[in-house]
Amino acid sequence: MKLAQFKTKSSNTPRLGLLKGEVIADITEVAPNMRELIRGGSVALQAARKATAPAAYALHAVEFLPAVYPGKILAIGRNYFDHAAEGGSEAPTAPLIFMKLPNALSAHQASIVLPAISEQVDYEAELAVVMGRRAKRVSEAEALDYVFGYTLVNDVSARDLQFGDGQWIRGKGLDTFAPLGPFITTRDEIADVQALKIEGRLNGQVMQSSNTQKMIFPVAHLISYISQGITLEPGDVIATGTPEGVGVFRKPPVFLKPGDVFEVEVEGLGVLRNSVASEDRR
Q: Are residues 36 and 164 in the same domain?
A: no
Do residue 54 and residue 134 come from a single domain? no
Indicate if 137 and 264 belong to the same structural domain. yes
Mean pLDDT of 243-259: 98
Q: Indicate if 56 and 79 belong to the same structural domain.
A: no
pLDDT in tens, 2-32: 999 999 988 899 999 999 999 999 999 999 9
- Domain range holding 50? 2-64
29 and 106 in a common domain: no
Q: Are residues 113 and 90 in the same domain?
A: yes
The bridge status of strand 111-114 relative to strand 270-278 is: parallel
Q: What is the CATH number for 85? A: 3.90.850.10
- pTM tops 0.95: yes
78, 55: one domain: no
As a whole number, mean pLDDT of residues 211-236 equals 98
The domain boundary, picked from 64, 92, 111, lies at 64
Q: Are residues 51 and 90 in the same domain?
A: no
In terms of DSSP bridges, do strands 261-266 and 270-278 run parallel, antiparallel, or are they unpaired? antiparallel
pLDDT at 114: 98
Residues 181 and 103 in one domain: yes
Domain ends where: 64, 86, 112? 64
Q: What is the pLDDT of residue 282?
A: 41
Residues 58 and 36 in one domain: yes
Q: In what order do the strands lie in the sheet with 270-278?
A: 111-114, 270-278, 261-266, 197-202, 205-211
3-state helix, strand, coil in the chain (%, to 5): 25, 35, 40
> Is residue 59 domain-shared with residue 79, that is, in the same domain?
no
Q: How many domains does the chain have?
A: 2
Query: Based on the domain organization, do 146 and 190 belong to the same domain?
Result: yes
Q: What is the rounded CA–CA span in Å between residue 47 and residue 185?
A: 16
Q: Can you give the length of the chain in residues?
A: 282
